[in-house]
């Protein structure tokens, strides 16, 4: 999204706030690859009305006492569809990843790389810093790790 904002801004990048609404509208009205739906429809239960869409000359508003119930049911259906699309995509990614993956055959005392996170307190009590260290250690049985 930041690439789109940068492309629409001036050379000195001082007018990014003026183009933000257009980029956001573009994002909210684009069909997403994972959910196969637009975020605007997921939030409001309808497609966006665009300026170039053909409009009816006479608009009649009807009062539907069950409108809120219908919108709620429709939104629940959209959320269910989006979740199923995401799950299907995740399964496809996993299958594609597993094609080239080899199972590891680890035994006790094999050397393994372990990432450890150490939290350090910096001079003031409110500031902390996380340091990640990579350590190569022999693999031990699980009950030894707990002790």
Residue 76 included in any domain = no
Q: What is the pLDDT of residue 143?
A: 46
Residue 91 included in any domain = no
Q: What is the pLDDT of residues 72-97, one digit of tens each?
A: 899 999 999 999 999 999 999 999 99
- Global pTM? 0.50
Q: Give DSSP secondary structure letters for 23-86.
A: HHHHHHTSPPTTTSS-HHHHHHSS----TTS---SS------TTHHHHHHHHHHHHHHHHHHHH
Q: What tokens does 115 get? A: 């990432």
Q: What is the pLDDT of residue 146?
A: 43
Q: What tokens does 121 get? A: 């307190």
Q: What is the pLDDT of residue 84?
A: 94
- Whether the CB-CB separation of 42 and 82 falls below 8 Å is answered with yes
Residue 6 included in any domain = yes
> Structural domain tally of the chain?
2
Q: What is the pLDDT of residue 2?
A: 66
Q: What is the pLDDT of residue 119?
A: 63
Q: What is the pLDDT of residue 11?
A: 73
Of 12, 27, 45, the last residue of a domain is: 45
Residue ranges for the chain with pLDDT beneath 70: 1-2, 117-147
Residue 120 included in any domain = yes
- Whether the CB-CB separation of 136 and 113 falls below 8 Å is answered with yes
Q: What is the pLDDT of residue 94?
A: 93
Full domain range(s) for residue 13: 1-45
Residue 98 included in any domain = no
Q: What is the pLDDT of residue 108?
A: 78
């Amino acid at each position: 999204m930041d690439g789109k904002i940068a492309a629409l801004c001036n050379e000195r990048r001082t007018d990014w706030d003026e183009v933000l609404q257009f980029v956001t509208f573009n994002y909210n009205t684009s069909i997403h690859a994972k959910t196969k739906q637009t975020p605007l429809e997921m939030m409001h239960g309808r497609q966006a009305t665009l300026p170039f869409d053909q409009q009816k000359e006479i608009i009649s508003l009807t009062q539907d006492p069950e409108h809120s119930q219908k919108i709620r049911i429709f939104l629940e259906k959209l959320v269910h569809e989006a979740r199923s699309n995401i799950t299907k995509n995740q399964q496809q990614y996993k299958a594609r990843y597993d094609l080239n993956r080899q199972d590891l055959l680890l035994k006790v005392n094999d050397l393994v790389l372990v990432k450890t996170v150490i939290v350090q307190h910096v001079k003031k009590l409110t500031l902390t810093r996380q340091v990640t260290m990579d350590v190569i250690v022999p693999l031990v049985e699980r009950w030894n790790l707990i002790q």
